Structure 1
Amino acid sequence: MWQVTQELHALDARRRWLVQRHGELLAALRGRRDSPAEVQGMPVVVPAGDGATSGSAREVSAPSARTALLIVGGVLVVVAALVFTVVSWGRLGIGGRAAVLLAVTACALALPRPLRRRQLTATAEASAAVGLALVLLDAYAAREAGLGGLDRVGTAGYWAVLTALMAVAAPVYGWWQRLRLPLPIGILMARLPGLLGTTALGGGAEDYATAMIATAAVDFAALYALTARNATGPAGVRDRLGGERAATALVTGVRAVGGAWALLGGAIAVAHAVSVSSPTEVVPAWAPLGLVALLGMALCRGFRTLPFVLRSGSEGVAVVALVVAVGAGLRCVAPSGWAVAGYAAPAALIAVWAAVCCARRGRWEKPAKGGSFTPPPEAAAAVGELIAASTMLLLTGVVVLPELVHALAQPVVPGMALWLDGHPPQWSWQLAAAPLAVLWLAVSVLATTAVLRARTVGVGVGVGDRHSDQLANALRNAAALAAVPALLLLPVALGLPYGWVLAAAAVASVALTIALTTVVVRRSPGAALVPRLAVLAATDALALLWSSADRVAVLVAWGAFAASAAVLAHVLSASAARPAERATARVAGALAVLALGVEAVASGITAGLTWHVIAFVVLAVAAVAACAAAVWQRIPGREQVSTAVEGAGYVLAVIAIALTAARPGALSLALAVAGVAGLAIALRPDRRRAALVGTALLIASSWVRLALADVTSPEAYTLPVTAVALIIGHRRRASTPGTGSWAAYGAGLSATMLPSLVAMWSDGNWVRPLLLGTAALLATVVGVRTRLQAPLVVGSGVLVLVGAHELAPTVVQVLGLLPRWVPLAAAGLLLLLLGATYEKRIDEARRLRDTVRTMG
């Protein structure tokens, strides 16, 4: 049995080794198959004994080295021919040089066929590239020699015809010689005839754009003709291009070059159309824009093999061109100031149409659970139209945004002058109708898209999902938020007085507050709370912002806002409220308190009170907030709202104290009031630590009073702190066993002794050293009796320094009578004595250290 088991283990080990070896050999074979040498028909030979070392030493493969040599050689040949043609060589004239170049060109173009027969494909490609480059030099030499009157032809026109012929002849030559390189050369040469022909005819920006877009259209038409039967062309095409990979690379390259050329031409056309201002200039600008639109639509609908994103992008480019064309035409006939609206209107119409198409063609339908969904082919056009039109509408909104922002914030400047100087300047609230119209178009598009999206989800495959559609919700929320300024700015655009505009904002705010409160109280199913709150917040923000230009309006607006926020906090903080509602209730409670603070400041300024008097009004609001928080704390479910209200009250208290900074007497009183309020808050069982803050405020108040009385003695400032700190430390040590003496008494003892010690060195009187020494002696005795470390260390240390202070004059006097070398000698002898007795006294020092550490 044991022998059989051993054999089985050996067989398993052998099998694992064979499997590993099989994988290594398979990987090596795949590497040989995929190596460039194998592709070219040259087997990879690794010398025996060389192994991986030989392979790792070769950083450049043989095909790469060959390609580099061919490229460099071809470039050098072309450069030499260029120098030969342009500069001259020997005594040959331009005609002789042209003849020599023609012969060399014929040889270069004839060499690829025999080279291919000898399997020198790369060399044949290089020879063909050199020959095509020499053709251009031949053309230059022929024109310079005046052959056939070519020197009388315009430069741009001559080269336009020549590059057009090269763009056609190079691919034909490559097709005939079964070469790859001439076809990309022809594609690149095709970029030039249109531009050169436009230059020859003296065209403008729209003509250059038309030429570029037409060139791109020809590219895509040729590509469509080549790939009509297959995604990468018929079998014969693939064979002549060098295989599937080469055909795919060519198709991708043509798409990239043609797309880039079309986009560049479209950008030029758009820039030109936006800059024109007269009807006679608009009509020529429509030609490139229309060509871009047709090309984009053709690519989206004709090239079904393109990815969905590229097809949508092509349709989007067409929509942009169409919107710009219509907008440029409308701008020339529209009244002054409505130019942006001329672009926004067609963009909005197209966006709505695209949203309807997306809904009809199933692009927005959600897949069933566990399934997949492929949109129909027409959905690419609808998506591209929707994205492009929405982007154009957004751009028009960005253009009018400065005017809208200026209108929204226009009452702020006179409001600041009113509240700071008391003399508001004359101002008028105006807004042009065009920016508001653009904003209303954006709102309409967002609302329509949200409705269509929601209906599609309701009837689509995704019925029954627990989660709501996030896109529909986002669109609906964005439409609601954008509708707030669009609606509230409408009276401004109509030219109504300031009071009417402010009244409209106030009515909207009150109506939204009532509606939201009703929804929360009735617990309406399916009611979205967050967007309603966002709309209410935006409306309230505008109403409060606009009220700043009138004092009565400020008092009414902020008072109403405080009341509505308090009501919302009370309603939303019910025990059955959801977490989101409770969070909103906390924010509403805090905002109600802060609004009351603003109301207090505004009332004080309106009544003509000074800032330090207004501070006490704000402090009273903070005290009321603390009382309200204590009351709400007792109501179940409203503890968190109570905390928010209390925190807002603390903020108002800090602001009130800051308002009295310029008046020390008022500052002392404010600190005292705040300190008493802190001690009152500490009566709550959950706010015991407020006593520390209250005590600190009372001490700060006493400090301000002492400073006003010109008291400079540090003990007057530090003794109250010491007393409070020692009492708190004693209570902490009594209530919390294990509290060290440093944590309990260290701060209290240091608060007085250290400042007094510093003041003692500059005080020539004997009273402070006597009192400080007595206090230090008392602390030392208490530390020894109670075996506490903090009083012992602090008291003894201060006592030693007091003694040193008293002995310092005598020491200085004695040192003045002695020679200067005596102190140095004494110090040296002392160090020697200490060194000699260190080992003897070390045990005693350790025992003393342990004794001190054992103290509390």
Structure 2
Amino acid sequence: MHALDARRQWLARRHDELLAALRVRRDAPARLQVIPTVVEGGGTASGAGREVSAPSARTALLIVGGVLVVVAALVFTVVSWGRLGIGGRAAILLAVTVCALALPGLLRRRQLTATAEASAAVGLALVFLDAYAAREAGLGGLDRVGTAGYWAVLTTLMAVGAAVYGWWQRLRLPLPVGFLIARLPGLLGTAALGGAAENYATAMIATAAVDFAALYVLTARAATGPAGFRDRVGGEQAATILVTGARVVGGGWALLGGALAVWHAVGASSPAEVMRAWVPLSLLALLGTGLCRGFRALPPALRSAAEGVAVVALIVAVGAGLRCVTPSGWAVAGYAAPAALIAAWAAVSCARSGRWTKPARGGSYAPPPEAAAAMGELVAASTMLLLTGVVVLPELAHALTRPVVPGMELWLDGHPQRWSWQLATAPLVVLWLVVSVLATMAVLRARTVDDRHTDQLAKVLHNTTALAAVPPLLLLPVALGLPYGWVLAAAVMASVAVAVDVVRRQGAALVPRLLGLAASGVVALLWSSADRAAVLALWGTFAVSAAVLAHVLSAPTARPPVRTTACVAGAFAILALGVEAVASGITAGLPGHVTAFAVLAVAVIAACAAAAWHRTPGRDQVSTAVEGAGYVLAATALALTARHPGALSLALAVTGVAGLAIALRPDRRRAALMGTALLIASSWVRLALADVTVPEAYTLPVTAVALVIGHRRRTSTPGTSSWPAYGAGLSATMFPSLIATWSDGNWVRPLLLGAAALLATVVGVRTHLQAPLIVGSGVLVLVGLHELAPTVVQVFGLLPRWVPLAAAGLLLLLLGATYEKRIGQARRLRDTVRNMR
């Protein structure tokens, strides 16, 4: 206590010095003002290099001083309590508290507003210490009162008293302090009464309701003259900060209570618990509705959020009640049904209130007040409905993919296990509710806006509705318990019906129908995997349907989206025929490398169809898509024969011939390169099967083809360098043969390779071509080194060890003596080579 008192006295002295310096600065003339800064030693320094402004120093001093006073009072209350009697202790604490609370009025009259705020804060803190000390001392029998109840009453009085005191004294700090203290009475009172989770939620929501009611009363007097709300709290900025903070704290407190109420309602297991959960949920719904409908000072976004919270509370309350009376498994539907009804009603309200009205070009749109409530209801109900859809999504996904597992066992193992296909009705009802709300919103949005083709939200709603309507439509026979064949037939009929509608009405909305067609087709194909006959029938049917669709939609007068659809349909037709070929081969018991030739036949058919459609005006895009699908099937066929070299060689040969045939088209000349490469690869596989290990057998055909192609390129394109024309062809044979020469002890290969390299070198010199000269001479030198290597090694073994060193030294001297001459000759040789083509 002695140390604290000494520190307090030093802070008081520094406080007086700072105030005196500030008064000097205020009273000094503007041109002679000097900003003094008080240092701890008691002197002053010029303000030219100060780092802390005067207001910051004042605030820091007040905060530190106030904290130290509170700490001193706390130490006095806890430590030194026993040294005084009950009367003396009460008198001291009460006197200090009264002084602290009475000083702000005097300080405000002397224009010491910040000091007044600090004094008020100290006084409010001392009130808590007074209450604590009074109960600990048993003053008036307070020690026999329950702790939670005592503090509940005290915090209530403190919250009201702090707000009234701050309003009366025109102080900023007591109002938010009282507002924050008001969080505690409800929770403490509930704890004193032994309440459950729903009681705590009710207390929190009720506290938030009282907050907004008090805020409404205060802000209603904002413009009542000098005694208005803004003047009371210290100006426009302070009023804005206080109101915003009160909204955030009150709204957050209400949301916390609402989350607790929702958690209790969802987990309730009996009607009594549900009824108890209705109390906070009803209070939350009333609070949200009141804020949206009656609190006009809130921005439209906050009003929509308040109405959304009310809708969520209402949906949870109704859903919890329905869960108690509906059969088992229908709990999610109990939440989805009210959400769907409110979402549909909110969509109608949005359309009627003009929330979706499209403004004129260049104009602005101000939504009416009713639009905020409708929008909040729509967003909240739609979100709740989507959450229920997410809850039932695993069960729906399992039903959608149920035939896939036995289908995989059927095609991979050949012996599938017995399986059953079932789906409860409740998840399907939830999905139908989602689709119904989406359809309602799409129709209302399209009718409200002036131009539905330029409204992106209307398009998204239509497309989402079309995509989401497929699973409940196709799963309806499953929920009704129909056999597998009937369910599959219904899916196929739905796909065919949509395809016929696309063909007949090409000018209508295309994207939603295409999404429905794609979704229904994918589901039908997945479901068909559980039966071999179904796979053969369905993939063949879909291939023919897609081909017809591509032919009809690829008319020259078709719109770009329709042509894109035709391209996709054409590619799918070819891929479906490939799957049909694979399924037929597996069903017939053929091995994979034999089935590959059926797939290769489909690829050849695709190439022929692409060539035929390419000659038809306006169908070049479809031709390209069909050709690309054929390439995919050709690659698949080659992959199926990879483990059987004989079949692989034949498949490569067939594919190469097909590539050369494609190269007959004027726009596909480059296909000859791929066809030639495939034929060469086929010959390599055949040579490997014949145990041919001579590299020239593999490389000479490549060299011949490459040299012929390079020569034709130089002939057709003057100015082509010799490297792209002949470099690859010469290297394809010479470099592998050179590598084999160094590991071959026979003399035939070095002789033939040397002769070929010599011929290439001579041709390069005679024709002034760089590639034959460099490749041929380089290989010739390396072949010569290979032939001289044994002799060189033998000679080096016979010579004394000093001879190589002497020879190397003499060589260096000779090179050094003729350096300039050799450099000139090297430059002339370099220029000569560079001048070659």
Alignment TM class, shorter chain as reference: over 0.9
* Candidates 616, 627, 632, aligned match of 1:635: 616
For the 8 Å contact 1:348–1:389, the answer to whether it is kept is yes
Distance 2:247 2:561 in 1: 51
C-alpha contact 1:453 1:472 (8 A) present in aligned 2: yes
Q: 1: CA distance between counterparts of 2:789 and 2:87? A: 113
Secondary structure (helix, strand or coil) at the match of 2:202 reads: helix
- Bigger mean CA offset, 57-66 vs 735-744: 57-66
Paired residue for 2:493?
A: 507
- CA drift of 1:95 comes to 7.2
Q: Displacement, 1:46?
A: 7.3
What are the superposed Cα offsets for residues 195-245 of structure 1, whole Å, 9 maximum, x if unpaired?
011111111111111000000000000111112255899852221211122
- Provide the C-alpha distance between the structure 1 equivalents of 2:85 and 2:606, rounded to a whole number of angstroms: 103
**Structure 2 contact 656–675 (Cα < 8 Å) conserved:** yes
Distance 1:757 1:516 in 2: 65
Which residue does 2:43 correspond to in 1?
none
1:454 aligns with 2:446: yes
Deviation, 1:57, is 4.9
Unaligned regions of 5+ residues in structure 1, if any?
A: 1-36
Partner of 2:597: 616
Alignment of 1:82-93 (within 5 A): 82-88=74-80, 91-92=83-84
Query: CA contact under 8 A between 1:678 and 1:691: conserved in structure 2?
Result: yes
Q: Displacement, 1:101? A: 2.9
Shift of 1:79: 2.5
State the match for 2:787 in structure 1: 806
Q: Does 1:479 align with 2:465?
A: yes
1:594 matched to which residue of 2? Answer: 575
The AA in structure 2 aligned to 1:610 is: P
Report the equivalent of 1:853.
Answer: 834
- Tell me if the contact between 2:760 and 2:772 (Cα under 8 Å) persists in the aligned partners: yes
Q: Secondary structure at the match of 2:708?
A: helix
Give the stretch that moved more between structures: 822-831 or 277-286. Answer: 822-831
Query: How many positions carry a matched residue from both structures?
Result: 805
Report the CA distance shift for 1:411/1:364 in structure 2 as closer, same or farther (over 3 A): same
TM-superposed CA distance for 1:825, in Å, is: 3.4
CA distance in 2, matches of 1:44, 1:584: 84
Does the aligned pair in 2 maintain the 1:233–1:247 contact within 8 Å?
no
Matched residues in 2 for 1:212 and 1:378: separation? 28
CA 1:372–1:43 in structure 2 vs 1: closer, same or farther (change >3 Å)? farther
Return closer, same or farther for 1:48/1:241 CA change in 2, 3 Å cut-off.
closer
Please show how residues 239-388 of structure 1 align to structure 2 within 5 Å. 239-388=231-380
Letter in 2 for 1:755: P
- Structure 1, residues 439-461: CA drift from partner, whole Å, max 9, x if none? 0001111111222222323xxxx
Q: Which residue of 2 aligns with 1:497?
A: 483
- Deviation, structure 1 residue 250: 1.3
- Secondary structure at the counterpart of residue 369 of structure 2: coil
Give the drift of 1:658.
0.3
Alignment equivalent of 2:175, drawn from 171, 175, 183: 183
C-alpha change, 1:379 and 1:666, in structure 2 (3 Å) is: same
The separation in 2 between residues aligned to 1:751 and 1:701, in whole angstroms, is 17
Q: Are the equivalent residues in 2 in contact too, given 1:358–1:382 (CA < 8 A)?
A: yes
- Using the TM superposition, give the Cα deviation of residue 614 of structure 1 relative to its aligned residue in structure 2, in angstroms: 0.6
Contact 2:603 2:633 in 1 (8 A): yes
Partner SS state of residue 105, structure 1: helix
Cα deviation digits, residues 22-71 of structure 1 (max 9, x gap): xxxxxxxxxxxxxxx99x98899577999xxx999554322122212222
Q: Deviations over 1:587-629 (max 9, x none)?
A: 1111111111111101111111100001010000000000001
Moved more, 283-292 or 674-683: 674-683
- 1:782 aligns with 763
Q: CA deviation at 1:826?
A: 2.4
Question: 2: distance between equivalents of 1:350 and 1:484?
Answer: 24
Matched, 1:470 2:451: no
CA distance in 1, matches of 2:124, 2:639: 84
C-alpha deviations, 1:247-295, integer Å up to 9, x for none?
1221111111111111111111111111111101100000000000000
For 2:220 and 2:192, locate their aligned partners in 1 and report how far apart those are by CA, in whole Å: 36
Distance 2:29 2:802 in 1: 93
- 2:686 corresponding residue in structure 1: 705
1:725–1:748 Cα contact (<8 Å) kept: yes
Q: Which residue in the other structure is 2:677 paired with?
A: 696
Deviation at 1:707, TM superposition (A): 1.5
1:822 Cα offset (Å): 3.0
CA–CA distance in structure 2, aligned partners of residues 714 and 529 of structure 1: 59
Aligned residue in 2 for 1:768: 749
- Tell me what 1:204 maps to: 196
Structure 2: distance between partners of 1:232 and 1:829? 114
Task: Tell me which residue corresponds to 1:439.
Answer: 431
Identify if the C-alpha distance between structure 1 residues 42 and 135 changes in structure 2 by more than 3 Å, giving closer, same or farther: farther
One of 122, 130, 138 as aligned partner of 2:122 = 130
In 1, the alpha carbon distance for the partners of 2:122 and 2:342 equals 52
Question: Could you say which residue in structure 2 is the equivalent of 1:738?
Answer: 719
Q: Using a 3 Å threshold, how does the CA distance of structure 1 residues 798 and 163 change in structure 2: closer, same or farther?
A: same
State the Cα distance separating 1:761 from its structure 2 match: 1.2
**Residue identity opposite 1:153 in structure 2:** V
Following superposition, the deviation at residue 833 of structure 1 comes to 2.2
Q: Report if aligned partners of 1:232, 1:244 keep a CA contact under 8 Å in 2.
A: no
Q: Give the distance between the partners of 1:56 and 1:652, measured in 2 at CA.
A: 83
The 2-side partners of 1:274 and 1:593 are apart by 52
Separation of aligned partners in 2, 1:632 and 1:772: 50
Quickly say closer, same or farther: Cα 1:762–1:125, change in 2 above 3 A: same
Is 1:401 paired with 2:396?
Answer: no
1:772-815 deviation digits (Å, cap 9, x = unpaired): 11111111111111111111111111111111111111111121
What's the secondary structure of 2:469's corresponding residue? helix
- Paired residue secondary structure (2:365): coil
CA contact (8 A) 1:231 1:305 kept: no
User: Which 4+ residue blocks in structure 1 deviate beyond 6 angstroms?
Assistant: 40-44, 46-50, 231-234
Secondary structure in 1 aligned to 2:505? Answer: helix
Give the secondary-structure state (helix, strand or coil) at the position aligned to 1:111.
helix
CA shift in 2, pair 1:231/1:366, >3 Å: farther
- Paired residue for 1:223, among 215, 218, 224? 215
Matched letter for residue 331 of structure 1: R
Look up the SS of the partner of 1:489 in the other structure. Answer: helix
Q: Output the CA distance in 1 between the equivalents of 2:773 and 2:362.
A: 77
Q: CA RMSD in A?
A: 2.1
1:621-679, Cα deviation, whole Å (9 max, x unpaired)? 00000000111011000111111101100010000000011111111111111111111
Q: 1:217 to 1:48 in 2, by over 3 A?
A: closer
Q: 1:124 to 1:603 in 2, by over 3 A?
A: same
- TM norm structure 2: 0.93
Distance 2:461 2:551 in 1: 30
Describe the shift of the 1:45–1:397 C-alpha distance in structure 2 as closer, same or farther (beyond 3 A).
farther
Structure 1's 785 and 807: CA in aligned 2 closer, same or farther, altered over 3 A?
A: same
Contact 1:95 1:145 in 2 (8 A): no
- The alignment status of 1:729 with 2:715, answered yes or no, reads no
Residue 169 in structure 1 maps to residue 150 in structure 2: no
Deviation at 1:474, TM superposition (A): 2.1
Q: What is the CA-CA distance between 1:99 and the residue it aligns to?
A: 4.3
Residues 452 and 458, structure 2, Cα contact 8 Å, conserved in 1: no
Query: How many Å apart are 1:301 and its aligned residue?
Result: 0.6
TM-score by length of 1: 0.91
The 10-residue stretch of structure 1 (469-478 or 714-723) with the greater mean CA deviation from structure 2:
469-478
The answer for unaligned runs of 5 or more in structure 2 is: 1-21, 36-45
Distance in 2, matches of 1:721 and 1:361, equals: 77
Displacement of 1:180: 1.1
Query: What SS is found at the alignment partner of 2:140?
Result: helix
Structure 2 residue aligned with 1:817: 798
* Per-residue Cα deviation, 1:420-471 (whole angstroms, up to 9, x for no partner): 00011111111110110000001111111222222323xxxx4xx5844332
1:712-760 deviations in whole A, cap 9, x for unaligned? 2211111111111111111111110000111110111111111111111
**1:529 maps to 2:521:** no
Quote the residue 1:109 is aligned against: 101
Q: Read off the aligned partner of 1:569 and give its amino acid letter.
A: A
